[in-house]
Amino acid sequence: MPGFIVHMGAAVQCAHAGIAQPITVNPRVTVSGQPIVTLANTYSIAGCTFPAMSSGAPPCATAQWTLGAARVTSMGQPVIVQSSQSTCIPTGTPLLIVATQPRVTAM
């Protein structure tokens, strides 16, 4: 699953339009002058609009990547690309990578 590598400045949202930001990043590799994100990095989510009143479930709070690049790693962890998969906690919905740098790809 090739795609552009996700970096700290990438626009990432939960499925309910909440803004997701990495809690930590990988400082060893940078693209467009910003550190990249690997499978080990967790995201925090703010502003999730999940309709908690109708279902009783809380909105997205954090997210963890479950699938990264198959062939490219940094510090032993697969890098995250546009086609990577994730799970938001506690809703179980994915993160959506809206925009990222268009120069470096990984497979």
pLDDT tens per residue, range 73-91: 999 999 999 999 999 999 8
Residues 6+ apart with CB under 8 A from 34: 7, 8, 9, 25, 101
Which letter does DSSP use for residue 17 in this model?
A: S
Where in the chain are the domains? Answer: 3-48+58-106
Domain 3-48+58-106, CATH among 2.60.200.60, 3.40.50.1220, 3.30.300.30, 3.40.50.150: 2.60.200.60
pLDDT tens per residue, range 13-71: 999 999 999 999 999 999 999 999 999 999 999 999 887 656 677 899 999 999 999 99
